[in-house]
C-alpha cells in the first residue's frame, strides 16, 4: 500500500537519539503500555539493529525498531502517530527495513496483538504468517500476542522453516 492520495510518501532515515522526544510522544499516544526512554536508548545502542524514522512535512510520523538475534531479525516496535495511520507510513518503514537487510532468505519475527487486525493484514501483505501465540503477552489487559514469521517458506505459503520456540501455541495460518 502506498501513501494515501495527495499525501507524499514519508522520508525514511535512521532513527537517532535526537528523535527520542518525538518517539516517546508518539509511543505514549500509540500504545497502552508504552516503551520507556531507556528501552529506546538500549535498542539504538545495539550495533546489529536497524532503527528507522519516518518523517513527513518535517516532523516524525512513525518509527520502527528491529534487532538481530543470531540469524533472525526481531521487529520489536512499529508505531505510527495516530493521525498519520493508514497513510503508508508503516508500509514505507517495513519496505525500507527489508531493503536495508537486503537478504531474500532473511528470517523475521514479531508479536502483534491478536485484536490488531489492521497490523496483522499489513504484516501479511509483507509475507508474514501467524505461527503461534504468546498467552497473556500484553500487560495492560492480558491479551494474547500472535507470533508472526516471514521466512522463505512463509513467502511460499508454508511454515516449514519456522522454528518452534518459547511458550508458543500453534495456530492455523491465516489465508
pLDDT in tens, 129-171: 999 999 988 888 888 999 999 999 999 999 999 987 544 444 4
Kindly state the percentage of the chain with pLDDT values over 90.
78
Which pTM value belongs to this model? 0.89
Confidence of residue 3 (pLDDT cuts 50, 70, 90): low
Quote the CATH superfamily of domain 105-175.
Gcn5-related N-acetyltransferase (GNAT) (3.40.630.30)
Same fold, 1-102 and 105-175: yes
Q: What is the largest CA-CA distance in the chain?
A: 45
The CATH architecture that domain 1-102 belongs to is: 3-Layer(aba) Sandwich (3.40)
User: Annotated active-site positions, please?
Assistant: 111, 123
Amino acid at each position: 500500500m502506498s501513501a494515501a492520495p495527495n499525501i507524499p510518501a514519508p522520508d525514511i532515515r535512521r532513527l537517532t537519539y535526537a528523535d527520542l522526544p518525538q518517539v516517546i510522544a508518539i509511543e505514549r499516544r500509540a500504545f497502552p503500555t508504552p516503551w520507556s526512554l531507556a528501552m529506546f536508548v538500549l535498542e539504538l545502542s545495539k550495533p546489529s539493529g536497524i532503527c528507522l524514522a519516518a518523517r513527513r512535512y518535517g516532523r516524525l510520523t512513525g518509527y520502527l525498531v528491529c534487532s538481530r538475534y543470531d540469524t533472525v531479525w526481531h521487529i520489536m516496535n512499529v508505531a505510527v502517530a495516530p493521525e498519520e495511520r493508514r497513510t503508508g507510513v508503516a508500509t514505507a518503514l517495513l519496505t525500507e527495513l527489508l531493503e536495508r537487510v537486503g537478504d531474500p532468505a532473511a528470517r523475521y519475527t514479531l508479536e502483534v496483538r491478536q485484536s490488531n487486525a489492521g497490523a496483522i493484514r499489513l504484516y501479511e501483505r509483507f509475507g508474514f504468517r501467524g505461527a503461534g501465540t504468546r498467552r497473556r503477552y500484553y500487560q495492560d489487559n492480558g491479551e494474547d500476542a500472535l507470533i508472526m514469521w516471514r521466512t522463505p517458506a512463509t513467502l511460499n505459503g508454508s511454515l516449514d522453516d519456522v522454528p518452534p520456540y518459547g511458550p508458543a501455541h500453534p495456530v492455523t495460518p491465516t489465508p
